[in-house]
Amino acid sequence: MTREEKIKNWFYYNKWWLVIWAVLAAIIVSIVLNALGVGQVKPDYIFALVTDSAADGALVENLDERFSALADDRNGDGSVNVEIRAYALANGGDLETAMYYNYAANTVLIADITASESAFFITDKPEKLQRELEIYADENGEPAESGDIYVLPVGDTGLFIGRRCYYGEMAEGRESEIAMWDRIKEALS
């Protein structure tokens, strides 16, 4: 056989192996790029919406629009992007299902808090959230003592927004969040 015939023969018998390896390589590249965050839009600010029931999509969109208007391009990507993350901590239904949903929502919320992703917390029960998670700052931005949380009502939604407190070294480099909080205070006052 000639060289060209040998190549054709090899491809004839191995074409499916080539397809399988190409698909696997594409999947691996996709996973790696996704893990590295390539091509993902990073939000400038993240707000946690913590309620007892699932948030209405219209409410989340309204909050997104309201706070996007106040935000600046913090990460320098040329666009302003505010993300509202909704956490429903108590769901209706049977007790077992509610417990699973509550556990899952609490786990994701604690991961958000631990990673310092959400800078602002919106809730309908700020005292309860503070009692359970000690997340809110006082009026000066310091960790709030027992009843000294500083929250503002978000219009007539029945929700309150407060700034997250940071401890120790985590408090450094938060100037853009402080400026955003000042804009929120001015807009809601």
Question: In this predicted model, what pLDDT tens digit does every residue of 87-131 receive, in sequence order?
Answer: 887 765 667 777 787 788 888 888 888 888 888 999 988 888 888
Question: Which pLDDT value is given to residue 96?
Answer: 74
CB hemisphere CA count around 39 (13 angstroms) = 6
Question: Which pLDDT value is given to residue 37?
Answer: 76
Quick one: residue 133, left, alpha or beta (phi over 0 = left, psi -120 to 50 = alpha)? Answer: alpha
Question: In this predicted model, what pLDDT tens digit does every residue of 147-183 receive, in sequence order?
Answer: 678 888 998 888 999 998 887 777 677 788 888 989 9
User: What is 45-188's CATH topology?
Assistant: D-Maltodextrin-Binding Protein; domain 2 (3.40.190)
- Under the banding of pLDDT at 50, 70 and 90, the label for residue 31 is very high
Question: Which pLDDT value is given to residue 23?
Answer: 97
Output the six-digit token pair for 104.
């899952």
Task: Compare 65 and 56 and report the one with higher pLDDT.
Answer: 65
- On the question of pLDDT at 28 being above 70, the answer is yes
Mean pLDDT over each residue of the chain, to the nearest integer: 85
In the chain, the amino acid numbered 79 is: S
DSSP 47-87: EEEEESSPPPHHHHHHHHHHHHTT---TT-SSS--EEEEEE
- On the question of pLDDT at 7 being above 90, the answer is yes
- Residue whose C-alpha is closest to residue 119's, from 86, 156, 163, 178: 163
Inter-residue contact 157 to 122 (CB < 8 Å)? no
Question: Which pLDDT value is given to residue 139?
Answer: 81
Percent of the chain with pLDDT over 90: 26
Q: How far apart are CA 97 and CA 84, in angstroms?
A: 25
Mean pLDDT for 67-82 is 86
